[in-house]
A and B are shown apart, each in its own frame.
Chain A
Amino acid sequence: MSSDTGQDQKLVQHLEGCAHERHGSLQKLYSITSANLFSVSLRILKDREQAEDCLQNAYIKIWKNAGSYDITKARPMTWMNTIVRNQALDMLRRKKVQEVSDDDHIHQIADTAPGHEEQLALSRNSANMHKCLADLSDQQRVCIELAYFEGLTHQEMSEQLEFPLGSVKTWIRRGLARLRTCLSGI
């Protein structure tokens, strides 16, 4: 984390600028962070147009709420990523409700939801995987990512991956414990 301190300070300065309605600070913040935040938005929504809307709304929230940002509570990227993730998951939930209410889409959802092999392949795709993520088993990582990026419940994961509910719960708990041990040691 210490290697990011300089970058964090820069981001904090820009957030302070936003809190004082300095538009130039928002522009600088956007140029530094938008590619990372867009990747989060895209990962959750898997639709460019929606991901763009999500990113746009997230930056407006960042601008409006910059005054409440507190460095003692979260690093700046964590705070901004959380705003994007919450925004994207909200949009995803609304989209699911809309799709479920439309019978024509039900088969489409079933057809397009990635199966367990595809999920594993997706999860293995990251070229420079963080050491602590690489330490997790494929199942542990997939389940944690399905919860974090797709907002799935234990039950939904069990159905999607076609594994018993108990196995899914165990993978998540053990995965989180391993993650904590690994990250606390860095």
Chain B
Amino acid sequence: MSEWNLSDPGDRNEAAAEYVLGLLPQTEKARFEALLAASHDAQQDVRNWQEHLNILNENLVPQQPPAKVWKEVSKATKPESFWSNLRFWQSASVSMALAVVFTVVLWFQSGVPGNGMDYVYVVQGPSEQTEWIVNASMNRDKVYVEAVQPVSLPDGKVCELWLMVAGREPVSLGILPKMGRNEVTISSEWREALKNSPLVITLEKPSGAPNGYEMGPVMNKGKWTPVNKASDYF
């Protein structure tokens, strides 16, 4: 005989609390997890209780762990792939970094192609150097991608830019240029959704991903920052 009527919001909420506390017996736990897989309300109840009960953690007096813990964590997590080569960028001189900042500032001030742009996404690399600047101009119906200081990639690899439009296949905004500028026409199909859609950069073969559902590993992600009055266009 079950203790909970999980179709009742009050019971469901109490079960969620005991689930987070780890108090539900095996059978009740299985029933609740079955509901959890399908019910957004149950998922929300669990999230709320995780936040509520987190005050038990917040109530504890912080204790400094010994230095050897970080040493072990660091040893176990240091990247060994080609990403470790990106330390090159981290060791770039201060003057180099300043030069990049200076370039970006000049780029914005020059108005080319910034003039008339509505949204910008600045792609930053591991040591926060600017790699590309992506701009959207709604009155020109164009997305412009300008290379600033692109990341060094292994042979046979490129970066592809995606617009993650909710409820549909991600839209490819093309391969990111190693130098110069690319432009993509904004389609009426996703024009309205553009400003609220996040952007993702993936690592691909030179031909790019076969489609929006079979992307390579995500290298970067971000969102648009409004530059001009968006209300003129939406």
Contacts and interface: CB of A to CB of B under 8 A. Distances in A.
Interface string A12-31: 00001001111110110010
User: What size tier do the contact residues of chain B reach?
Assistant: 35 or more
Interface stretch (B15-23, B141-149, B158-166): B15-23
B36 to A, nearest CB: 13
Given A24-B90, A30-B70, A52-B66, A153 B23 contact: yes
B74 A75 contact: no
A91 interface: no
A67 interface: yes
Contacts of B51: 74-75, 78
Interface stretch (A99-107, A110-118, A159-167, A175-183): A175-183
Contacts, number: 132
B22 A21 contact: no
Interface of B is mostly: helix
Given A39-B57, A144-B56, 20 more contacts: A24-B127, A27-B74, A38-B69, A42-B63, A60-B76, A60-B77, A63-B77, A67-B218, A74-B51, A77-B58, A78-B51, A89-B22, A126-B60, A128-B59, A130-B59, A133-B55, A133-B59, A148-B53, A151-B22, A176-B17
18 contacts: A22-B126, A24-B127, A30-B70, A35-B65, A38-B65, A38-B69, A39-B60, A39-B63, A51-B65, A56-B76, A60-B77, A74-B51, A75-B51, A82-B50, A85-B57, A133-B59, A172-B18, A180-B17
Interface of A: 16, 19-24, 26-27, 30, 34-36, 38-40, 42-43, 51-52, 55-56, 59-60, 63, 67, 73-75, 77-78, 81-82, 85, 89, 126-130, 132-133, 144-145, 147-149, 151, 153-154, 172-173, 176-177, 179-180, 183
Sorted nearest first, the 6 A-B pairs with minimum C-beta distance are A35-B62, A39-B60, A38-B65, A147-B21, A59-B73, A81-B57
